[in-house]
Each structure stands twice: as C-alpha cells, then as structure tokens.
C-alpha cells in the first residue's frame, strides 16, 4: 500500500471519529481501502472491523489461531457481544499457549 509503516494513514476509526464526523470517517475508510489492490491483513481490531466494510480483511491473529480464516476474511465485522466473546476465547487460547502475563 502506498501509505504504510511510518506513513500509514488512519482507517477512519481512530479516536472514534465515526461518532464525531461520520462522513469524514467513512471517507477515510474508503480512501484507505482503495489503496489496497489485494485483501488486507491488519494487527488492529478496529482497523479490521472498519476496513472489512470495504474489502476482505483479516486480523493477523486469525492467521495464527483461526483455521477458518480464509473463509472468514470475507465476513463482515462482528457485533459487540460476539466480538467480546471472540476476544475472551482468544485470550484463553493465548494464556493456554504462553501462560498468564504477570
């Protein structure tokens, strides 16, 4: 993507901009998604949810922990309750694999 690394642009969700100025935020999302000529991998959950509105997007942890990632990359973002359940499940997997953080 043209804007990456230290030149990365916001997906439109930064600072919860969607709630402050929906048109501005959605414009940023459209511009950011349009930069990718391919599916998107992100390390940020908010970016994954936002960019998934525009093009297939997957969170990097799904590549590691989710055997269904290829199918799910085209699914829309999850709603709050499902997202929280998925986060709790991932946390339990990470603790089981690496131990609790002290």
Quickly list DSSP for the chain.
Answer: --S-GGGPPP-S-GGGHHHH-HHHHHHHHHHHHHT-SS-EEES-HHHHHHHTTTS-EEEHHHHHH-TTHHHHTTSPPPPHHHHHHHHHHHHHHHHHHH----
Task: Tell me which residue has tokens 């953080």.
Answer: 101
The reported pLDDT for the residue numbered 21 is 92
Report, as an integer, the average pLDDT of 64-86: 80
Query: How many domains does the structure of the chain reveal?
Result: 1
The whole domain housing 69 covers 5-98
Provide the pLDDT confidence category of residue 14 given band limits of 50, 70 and 90: confident
pLDDT computed for residue 56 by the predictor: 92
- pLDDT grade for 81, boundaries at 50, 70 and 90: confident
- The stretch 16-28 carries a mean pLDDT of 89
Does this model's pTM top 0.85? My answer is: no
């Amino acid at each position: 993507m043209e804007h990456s690394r230290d030149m990365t642009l916001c997906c439109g969700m930064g600072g919860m901009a969607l709630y402050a100025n929906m048109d501005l935020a959605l414009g940023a999302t459209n511009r950011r998604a349009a930069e990718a000529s391919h599916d998107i991998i992100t390390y940020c959950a908010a970016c994954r949810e936002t960019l998934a509105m525009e093009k297939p997007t997957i969170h990097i942890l799904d590549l590691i922990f989710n055997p269904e990632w290829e199918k799910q990359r085209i699914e829309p973002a999850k709603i709050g309750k499902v997202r929280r359940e998925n986060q709790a499940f991932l946390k339990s997997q990470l603790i089981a694999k690496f131990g609790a953080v002290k």
